[in-house]
Amino acid sequence: MSTKRVVITGLGVISPLGNDINSYWSNLIKGKSGIDYIDSFDADAFSTKIAAEVRGFKATDYLSRKDARRMDRFMQFACAAAQQAAKDAKLTVNQENARRVGVWIGTGIGGLETHEKQHQILLEKGPGSVSPFLIPMMICNMASGQVSIMLGAKGPNGSTVTACAAGTNSIGDAFRLIQNDEADIMITGGAEACITPLAMAGFCAMRALSTRNDHPQGASRPFDAQRDGFVMGEGAGIVILEEMHHALERGVKIYAELAGYGTLGDGYHIVQPDPEGNGAAQAFISALKDAGVAPEQVDYINAHGTSTEINDAMETKAIKKALGDHAYQVAVSSTKSMTGHMLGAAGAVECIAAALSCQHNLVPPTINYRDPDPLCDLDYVPNEAREKTVNVAVSDSLGFGGHNAVLVLKKFNEHGD
């Protein structure tokens, strides 16, 4: 293991459960669903008419009107969450530290809303009417680019694009940069804004989405026997990662230590996970080894838990392979039951939930869990939050293409005990 330790000193979130950390965490603990009927476009013709939309968000609360117009919605979310996190961490980027502060923000799809709108303009009005900002508003790396410009961060800058694992992989990749002494601070996480007609049509065509349109708040039901697909979500989660001694010298609040990261591929199928869960299990094992944590030390897992038939059964199998008999002693919950699946932002907002669980010794529930599935036989913290000492929390993400990414967080102890 690296001798450099990395801690989390700032959090920011834009989510279907609220557009700040306090609202997000409070609603998670209350078991509130952020899923409802889609109101951003007419979904009457779609087999799925529900989603977990971000509501009440005003880009101009964080950006000038001019800058906001030149960003896709996923970039606006990233900039807003990054501002929150930087403020929370009391982070000021200046000439002295700019080269040691980096940005690494993942996304699964990027600026799809811009793509759709500008393609329609091309068809209706011709190429001369397409915006000159089309490309920088659409490309996946530009959330990181815009945040670095906004905050003045000139250290390592990039974006990891691994579908639904993008937020987790980005945090893990940023973690490595600090461990390798390429930065003191990384502004990292994920952002997504894909509740658009084209994205919804594509996922509906795959039959990946829940069609429980008569009960939106009950549609996402991870690990439940009656689950019928995931619910699309959107938003952004940003964490400030910082080398431990740097954070202690600044005297800032530390939420948790990010202690380990593991990532492996299935090499199996473009969208289906390996049903045996071997890649996911190995990512768990790799992350725990990286953190110096034994399986029996894990207290809580914020699971990928998408509410799809194959994923939830496979993930349960992977957890049991990684933790052995201790898997039955661990609290496992899926906050996607409340936020929906935020794709490339999911792993980041779930890492935030894991960090807050370490801080508060409180585990969010899996809501809508009513009918146990024999293939999913772990403790999924059904329907109500639970007080529990959380010294070690794990957050995992699994993405189309067979991407498996796992983060291990510890309750912070300066002496590493």
Are 109 and 192 in contact by the 8 Å Cβ rule? The answer is yes
Dist. CA 25–CA 18, nearest whole Å? 9
The values of phi and psi at residue 218, to 5°, are: -105, 10
CA angle 360, 256, 377 (to 5 degrees): 65
What tokens does 284 get?
A: 């768990």
Q: Report DSSP state, residue 359.
A: H
The amino acid that residue 53 corresponds to is E
Selection from 135, 158, 150, 34 nearest residue 82 by Cα: 150
What tokens does 316 get?
A: 């349960």
Active-site choice (164, 204, 351, 376)? 164
Are 52 and 232 in contact by the 8 Å Cβ rule? The answer is yes
Are 309 and 316 in contact by the 8 Å Cβ rule? The answer is no
Selection from 213, 208, 173 nearest residue 343 by Cα: 208
Burial of 139 (0-12, 13-18, 19+ CB in 10 A): middle
Are 353 and 304 in contact by the 8 Å Cβ rule? The answer is no
**Terminal-residue alpha carbon distance, the chain:** 15
204 is catalytic: no
Question: What's the chain's length in residues?
Answer: 417
Dist. CA 236–CA 254, nearest whole Å? 21
Are 137 and 131 in contact by the 8 Å Cβ rule? The answer is yes
Q: Cα dihedral sign for 249, 250, 256, 260?
A: negative
Dist. CA 329–CA 298, nearest whole Å? 9
Are 4 and 178 in contact by the 8 Å Cβ rule? The answer is yes
Dist. CA 168–CA 188, nearest whole Å? 9
Active site (catalytic) residues: 164
